[in-house]
């Protein structure tokens, strides 16, 4: 079958190429999905940058897919052949077909198309679990850094719907403009412009941004560190921390640690989209032959919202 393969080519210098891969060999609790659309996450572009020594042998990218089940699970679990689904496999999704655990997919209603569904899994699941880690948000002030990214988009809409007053931090006002339409109370372009204190800080940039965001916490507040988009290490002076907000807390977040299965959260995301309560921002839709071009554009930050590729 055809699939997107990692590895630069001498003639193009691109980080991925369209080539041939073996058909998936599903475990007894996995279905095979014929992929109609997939989205690209920045984390996957970081993995492609890291070299093969940072991945298991035979690794191919692809964690966010939507399509149709063409082979049901041998153990009888999961949806039947012909069912439209959105899925979150651990890898290999940038291909014509992919094996997916039946615990990591959700059925799609007719009202949710494959392109929209493909924009949901990683960013949407992360947003749901991040907000659970933050605790009750009704009436609370929330500072969200890296807000114009895929996760930030969902967090803003979901947190605002919970009654939070969200201050969204975006690198530029243009990239973050839609966040105000989704319910953000305020849009700023630098943590230094924030007017704290905040009950909750959701920090995803790293570098110098984390200590600056930490200083905005209210007494007893919580900072949840869920990303490092700047790719810069964080240096934190704990003497400054101790002199800061009384009883403030820092928590590291990984979306996979609370639950390694994703079907329940995917079903919740699909319900919210179908009900018109969650609105994925899709910045570009292209044929999957242009995956390398999309990766280049994502690295240059010229795409606002999710990048979705359709598989012919």
pLDDT digit string, tens, across residues 286-311: 999 999 999 999 888 888 889 999 99
Residues 258-266 have a mean pLDDT of: 89
Alpha carbons 301 and 150: distance in angstroms, whole number = 12
Same-domain pairing of 158 and 72 = no
User: Per-residue confidence at 55, pLDDT binned at 50, 70, 90?
Assistant: low
In DSSP terms, 33 is beta-bridged to 69, 98
Alpha carbons 112 and 106: distance in angstroms, whole number = 12
Same-domain pairing of 167 and 73 = no
Residue 131 main-chain phi, psi, to 5 deg: -70, -35
Residue 12 main-chain phi, psi, to 5 deg: -110, -25
Residue 272 in any domain: the answer is: no
Residues 260-282 have a mean pLDDT of: 96
Report CA 275 to chain centroid distance, whole Å.
Answer: 21
pLDDT at 30 over 70: yes
Residues 30-40 have a mean pLDDT of: 98
Residue 33 in any domain: the answer is: yes
Residue 265 in any domain: the answer is: no
Same-domain pairing of 50 and 160 = no
Residue 264 in any domain: the answer is: no
Residues 148-164 have a mean pLDDT of: 95
Same-domain pairing of 162 and 191 = yes
Same-domain pairing of 19 and 87 = yes
User: Per-residue confidence at 53, pLDDT binned at 50, 70, 90?
Assistant: very low
Same-domain pairing of 43 and 142 = no
Please provide the size of the chain in residues: 312
Question: What's the sign of the alpha-carbon dihedral 115, 102, 277, 110?
Answer: positive
In this prediction the pTM is 0.92
Q: Look at residue 28 in the predicted model and tell me its pLDDT.
A: 98
Alpha carbons 150 and 27: distance in angstroms, whole number = 31
Same-domain pairing of 20 and 105 = yes
Same-domain pairing of 174 and 199 = yes
Residue 257 in any domain: the answer is: no
Range(s) of the domain holding residue 25: 2-120+280-310
Residue 261 in any domain: the answer is: no
| Percent of the chain at pLDDT exceeding 70 | 95
Residue 175 in any domain: the answer is: yes
Least confident of 16-20, 57-61, 184-188: 57-61
Same-domain pairing of 116 and 35 = yes
Same-domain pairing of 38 and 108 = yes
Q: Look at residue 174 in the predicted model and tell me its pLDDT.
A: 87
Same-domain pairing of 192 and 305 = no
Closest CA to 272 of 83, 148, 69, 125: 125
Same-domain pairing of 224 and 247 = yes
Stronger pLDDT, 239 or 192, i.e. the higher one: 192
Residue 108 in any domain: the answer is: yes
Residues 49-72 have a mean pLDDT of: 82
- State how many domains the chain has: 2
pLDDT in tens, 208-257: 888 888 889 999 999 999 887 777 888 777 777 677 777 888 998 988 87
Residues 77-82 have a mean pLDDT of: 97
Task: Spell out a b/e string for 173-182, using b for 16 or more CB atoms within 10 Å of the CB, else e.
Answer: eebbebbeeb
- What CATH code is carried by the domain that includes residue 32? 3.90.180.10
């Amino acid at each position: 079958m055809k699939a997107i393969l990692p590895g630069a080519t001498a003639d193009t210098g691109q980080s991925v190429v369209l080539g041939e891969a073996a058909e998936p060999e599903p475990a007894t609790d996995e279905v095979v999905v014929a992929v109609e659309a997939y989205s690209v996450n920045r984390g996957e572009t970081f993995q492609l940058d890291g070299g093969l020594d940072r991945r298991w042998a035979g690794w191919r990218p692809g964690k966010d897919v939507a399509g149709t089940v063409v082979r049901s699970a041998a153990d009888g679990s999961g949806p039947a052949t012909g069912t439209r689904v959105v899925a979150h496999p651990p890898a290999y999704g940038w291909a014509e077909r992919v094996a997916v655990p039946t615990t990591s997919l959700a059925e799609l209603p007719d009202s949710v198309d494959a392109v929209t569904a493909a924009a949901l899994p990683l960013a949407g699941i992360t947003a749901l679990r991040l907000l659970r880690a933050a605790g009750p948000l009704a009436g609370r002030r929330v500072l969200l850094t890296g807000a114009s990214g895929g996760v930030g988009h969902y967090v803003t809409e979901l947190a605002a719907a919970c009654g939070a007053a969200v201050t969204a931090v975006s690198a530029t006002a243009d990239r973050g403009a839609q966040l105000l339409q989704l319910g953000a109370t305020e849009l700023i372009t630098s943590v230094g412009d924030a007017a704290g204190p905040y009950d909750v800080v959701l920090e995803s940039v790293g570098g110098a941004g984390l200590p600056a965001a930490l200083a905005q916490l209210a007494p007893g507040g919580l900072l949840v560190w869920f990303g490092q988009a700047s790719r810069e290490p964080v240096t934190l002076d704990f003497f400054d921390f101790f002199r800061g907000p009384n009883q403030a807390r820092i928590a590291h977040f990984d979306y996979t640690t609370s639950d390694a299965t994703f079907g329940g959260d995917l079903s919740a995301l699909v319900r919210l989209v179908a009900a018109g309560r969650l609105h994925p921002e899709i910045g570009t839709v292209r044929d999957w032959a242009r995956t390398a071009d999309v990766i280049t554009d994502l690295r240059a930050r010229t795409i606002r919202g999710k990048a979705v590729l359709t598989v012919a």
